[in-house]
Chains A and B, each alone.
Chain A
Amino acid sequence: MKADLITSLYVFMLAAFIGFEVIRRVSPLLHTPLMSLTNALDAIAVVGAIILAGEQKSTLATVLGTVAIVAATSNIVGGFIITDRMLRMFKSSKTQKP
């Protein structure tokens, strides 16, 4: 158990560093899509909700898990759709020949 926690802390530390390095390189042009994309990715929390709603260990857990799936799924679906919509609008003047 203790070892697991330490591993988790390592994972967090490394992921935070990777996050800083990768996101620093994201062009300011794309900061809005960046936020909507990270938002969609963050909705990976849905995996915890799915297990709660599926294991049905208590009525409370099932109900809360189900509502949580709805909230997270709407973020996943909406987040990916709008990010892609925004990115499709970004065209370079070299490729843009109307």
Chain B
Amino acid sequence: MTNLPGSDLIIEVLYIIAAALFILALKWLSSPATARRGVLAGEVGMLLAVVGTLFHKGIVDYKWIAIALVLGTIIGVPLGRVAMTAVPQRTALSHAFGALCVTLVGTAEFYLRAPNVSRFIMSALSLEVILGSLTFTGSLMAAGKLQELLPQRPITYKGQNIVNLGFLGIAIAIAVYLTLHPDQMYLFPAMIVIPLIFGVLMIIPIGGADMPTVISLLNSYAGLSAAAMGFVLDSKLLIVAGALDGASGFILSVNMSKAMNRSFTNVLFGAFGQEQVTAAAGQEARPVRSATPEEATAILAAANKVVIVPGYGMAVAQAQHKVRELYDALSKRGVDVTFGIHPVAGRMPGHMNVLLAEADIPYDKLLDMDQVNGDMPHTDVALVIGANDVTNPAARTDTSSPIYGMPILDVDKAHTVMVIKRSMSPGFAGIDNPLYYLDNTLMLFGDAKQFVGNIVKELSGNSGGH
């Protein structure tokens, strides 16, 4: 059946349709209203491409293909069913799997072709396996840190960058040499092992708070390695998919680095954990104003416009559903409640939106930083739950602050700021937050879930019978 004349042509046409569907899939993702159609387009495109490939002339045996497809599905289904809080580590793990696939195919292709490999193919192949192997171990490390199997805190030592770049440099040197002399096949394993080590070293200095940037960057690497594989196999479909994935990861990396106020070269070279902040010195006990749930409730109930600013602390406290109850209770009283989401308010880009959507908060209430900041002076109450550095006004004014220049949510411009926090301890960067000492700030000390729950109870108690 596979020897029909023109079966190659049919496969190619299926690939072209698949590539078009992939582009449409991303296009439809532009709005939540059409996004699910995008997934469907992606699925149809994938199905066409895989089925088309099964008709490839050279395939002599389907046994291993079938076993592998079944096994992959068995592994894939539980990975698609993880909790929403675990999506970042799942994503990191899937970058690792993608990179593994690319590296293995690249390795097999090399040993099938060597030493008769053209220079162009050899350089694409080198790029493929170098990016693939460093993304593989780097993503596994990232997943380990996110799952808290590995220590979250950054591990740094003197000369770390030189060591890391040295490893990368050696790998590139081998790649160049192999490109010129593809018959030196004994060098190939080194071109895989060294980037594997580099991937581990690259993630060691990175702390938990930088994970959104790292995941995006690894996403981009995974895409580029797949595109390189497309060059090796002369598969335009793979080039298209890899380029789309690479572009997506690149855009997200740039977004995240802007949101974290890190320079782009900083991101490109993976030197994230650089700014080692010396813990805020001279912390004299400054007076803060605190409030009880009853007082907080009275202020919220009297407000017309409330902006809730959630941070990852909210997710850690599992307070999303209580926050949703608060949203319901306030909305019922006619209070305009929206959410101000900082780009890095989570463990990966967009993570906070997913966590809030899971708690049934309508997406049109989830606003990004720019949308919220314009309205902040007209906001009666800004309620900060589990966020810290992204609300720190020092980022706007204090040039000596390590986070100076980082875009923040201007909660201090609201009439009243309420901050739910366990204690006065500083955030991940170890920076004191002047927000807490402002005259219009009320500290609500306690567990986020419990505190919000108390406010909700108060609100429903006062609302009278209806």
Contacts and interface: CB of A to CB of B under 8 A. Distances in A.
Interface string A18-50: 111011111111111111111111111111111
Contacts, number: 371
Nearest to A72: B101
A23 B247 contact: yes
Given A20-B247, A26-B26, A37-B42, A71 B100 contact: yes
B269 interface: no
B82 to A, nearest CB: 7
Given A23-B248, A61-B108, A79-B76, 12 more contacts: A16-B246, A22-B244, A25-B27, A25-B30, A26-B30, A28-B255, A31-B353, A36-B90, A38-B249, A41-B22, A45-B101, A91-B360
Contacts of A79: 76, 80, 94
A76 B60 contact: no
A37 to B, nearest CB: 6
B368 interface: yes
Given A40-B46, A56-B61, A19 B350 contact: no
B181 interface: no
Q: Which of B23, B31, B50, B54 has the most CB of A within 10 A?
A: B50
11 contacts: A11-B243, A20-B251, A29-B363, A31-B252, A53-B65, A67-B68, A68-B101, A80-B39, A80-B80, A88-B36, A92-B364
Interface of B: 18-19, 22-23, 25-27, 29-33, 35-36, 38-39, 42-43, 45-46, 49-50, 53-54, 56, 58-62, 64-65, 67-69, 71-73, 75-82, 84, 87, 90-91, 94-95, 97-98, 100-102, 104-105, 107-109, 111-112, 118, 120, 215-216, 219, 222-223, 226-227, 229-231, 233-252, 255, 341, 343, 346, 348-351, 353-354, 357-358, 360, 362-366, 368
Interface of A: 1, 4-5, 7-8, 11-12, 15-16, 18-20, 22-58, 60-62, 64-94, 96, 98
A3 to B, nearest CB: 11
Contact of A73 (B18, B68, B118, B366): B68
A94 B30 CA distance: 19
A31 to B, nearest CB: 3
B42 A80 contact: yes
A11 B346 CA distance: 35
Contacts of A87: 32, 35-36, 39
Contacts of B244: 15, 18-19, 22-23, 38, 41
A92 B29 contact: no
B68 A70 contact: yes
Given A1-B118, A54-B61, A72-B98, A19 B243 contact: yes
A85 B363 CA distance: 15
B245 A39 contact: yes
B53 A50 contact: yes
A48 B247 contact: no
Given A41-B25, A72-B98, A73-B69, A32 B105 contact: no
Contact of B35 (A30, A48, A57, A65): A30
Contacts of B80: 77-82, 85
Given A35-B248, A56-B61, A28 B350 contact: yes
A49 B351 CA distance: 32
B423 to A, nearest CB: 30
A75 B240 contact: no
B105 A45 contact: yes
Contact of A81 (B61, B77, B230, B236): B77
A24 B67 CA distance: 39
B36 A66 contact: no
A62 B105 CA distance: 10
A83 B62 contact: no
A90 B32 contact: yes
Contacts of B227: 12
A34 B350 contact: yes
A91 B239 contact: no
